[in-house]
Chain A
Amino acid sequence: MLETTLCGVILKNPVIAASGTFGFGAEYSDFFDVGRLGGICTKGLTLSPREGNSGLRVWETPAGMMNSVGLQNPGIPVFLERELPRMRTLGTAIIANVAGGDLEEYVEGVRLLSNADGVDIVELNISCPNVHEGGMAFGVNSDVAAGVVTAVRRVCSKPLMVKLSPNAEDITAMAIACEQAGADAVSLVNTFKALAVDIHARKPVFDNVTAGLSGPCIKPIALRMVWEVARAVHIPVVGIGGISTWQDAVEFIMAGTTAVQVGTATFIKPTAMLDIIDGLERYCANEHLTSLATVRNILGTEAPLP
């Protein structure tokens, strides 16, 4: 009932753990069978290991949180050697999220991940707001993004999904540019660039000044962006942004997404994604749907453009 095909990859269901919120999957194996998930996006990987940002990395907000991790990761070679073999035993689709400091690092990283057995989809991260070089620097302007997508497409034999930033100049134009450059899918949104001030210290909370906002507070804006993008491109759209319940997931699917990614909700409740999967199953049964495709993009065809 929930089986979903994303870029030719069959997912058990459309619920995917979002990058940076689920480690490499094993961290949550104590709490539930992560093999029940549709897929897992890895922590953002770069060719060289990264220590990430200094100082405080998390700040709670009303209905959300800000993070400033800054792509801390062990590097792609270590991922391939140590983490990927373990991930492959989890019984779910593996989506390797890859970032880079410059174009060469993106291309080499994608080449290595694309050639690795067990990686089902490569998710190109041009949307991390927490690093100075690379990351979102490639995801604000459509022409710049098209350049990196074109370059990595040449070395990527696996399905290529581009993760978009809500901080893009024009997210619809960005999605179209990625599609034209060869992306097989787009996922959106990454975190919103945000600011918090320590009024006692009279300085920003984060060493990096700004940080990425996630959680239920961003959901309505993320949903609007997803809806705009879904009606503008012909490739699958994966929705991300504050999805915490099965009802949230249905909203994104009705706005046109093939699958959803869940991040911050897992911090609230480790088994949140199972609740969403179970809820989607009940929803389909109650509504007599043989597939979620029946309601997918219902808004896209009926709601007029503003």
Chain B
Amino acid sequence: MTSPSPAYVEGATVLSQERLTDDVYRLTVATTTGGTPGQFYMVRAWDREPLLARPISIHSMDEDTVSFLYQVRGWGTDLLARLDEGGEVALTGPLGHGFRTAELHGKIAIVTGGIGIAPMFCLARTLPAGDVTVIAGFKSTPYAVAQLLNVGVDVRVATEDGCDGTRGFCTEIFDPHAYDTVVTCGPMPMMARVAHLCAEAGVACQASLEAHMACGVGACLVCSCPTVLGNQRVCADGPVFDATEVVWNA
């Protein structure tokens, strides 16, 4: 799947804003800029402040819309959550290198922590139904699970407070030996654990990293991540990396 050229678009119209939990929202905007699973956009819903746009992965897309699943974490995401239908955002994207879907084969596990589930709906949709298991961990109430079930994906949930699924971390219900390839996205310690388990089992794993960014296009070098190849740019060299290349304990 080749990625379309990125563009800067002002005035993309908000088609819907859905509140999924206390602090998780799904924003759908009208844009034809598309992308591939695992790519992201720099999103702005304000004029001058805050200064920087926010990098948010593509949750789902079609020919004329892109959706973002995001958690309110601070100033920028709080402003995003205040957008209503008919509002406008500025988008730069699609950016970065997404999941290498051609390398995903056999039984595929998608292991996510919290909002790390965001890019997995559009990924799962492109994979053969029946071969994909999503192992999703949440602090509490799960979100974005029903739509995965709708596309024929097996979903297993772990919650830290035990309110749904298995009590505990998603890494406790993930056995890499049961899969041929693995994809992961979530907090760094959780992905480090997944990467470690996969390396021990000899199973290929792709990890989608998160980072604070400024430019989003590979120019400013503020989002670098230590890898065995040296510091790499999460925005332009990633955000998806081979898990064996990332220096997890840096």
Contact = CB atoms under 8 A, between A and B. Distances in A.
Interface of A: 20-23, 27-28, 30-31, 43, 51-52, 54, 56-65, 67, 69, 72, 215-216, 264, 266-271
B231 to A, nearest CB: 5
A61 B226 CA distance: 25
B228 interface: no
Given A21-B219, A57-B221, A270-B92, 16 more contacts: A22-B219, A28-B217, A28-B219, A30-B7, A30-B217, A31-B8, A52-B231, A57-B222, A57-B223, A58-B212, A58-B213, A61-B51, A63-B49, A69-B221, A267-B51, A268-B44
Nearest to A65: B51
The number of chain B residues touching the other chain, given as a range, is: 20 to 34
A67 B222 contact: yes
Nearest to A24: B219
A57 B221 CA distance: 8
Contacts of A269: 8, 90
Nearest to A17: B219
Contact of B215 (A27, A60, A72): A27
Interface in B224-246: 224, 226, 230-231, 236
B1 interface: no
B86 interface: no
Task: Find the residue from A67, A215, A264, A267 having the highest chain B CB count within 10 A.
Answer: A267
A23 B51 contact: no
Interface in B62-120: 90, 92
7 contacts: A23-B218, A23-B219, A27-B218, A28-B217, A30-B217, A69-B220, A266-B219
Interface of A is mostly: loop
Interface string B121-155: 00000000000000000000000000000000000
A20 B231 contact: no
B218 A60 contact: no
Contacts of A264: 51, 214
Given A51-B231, A63-B51, A31 B7 contact: yes
A60 B221 contact: no
A58 B222 contact: yes
A72 B221 contact: yes
Contacts of A271: 8
A52 B212 contact: no
Nearest to B10: A269
A21 B222 CA distance: 10
A63 B49 CA distance: 7
Interface in B163-201: none
A60 B50 contact: yes
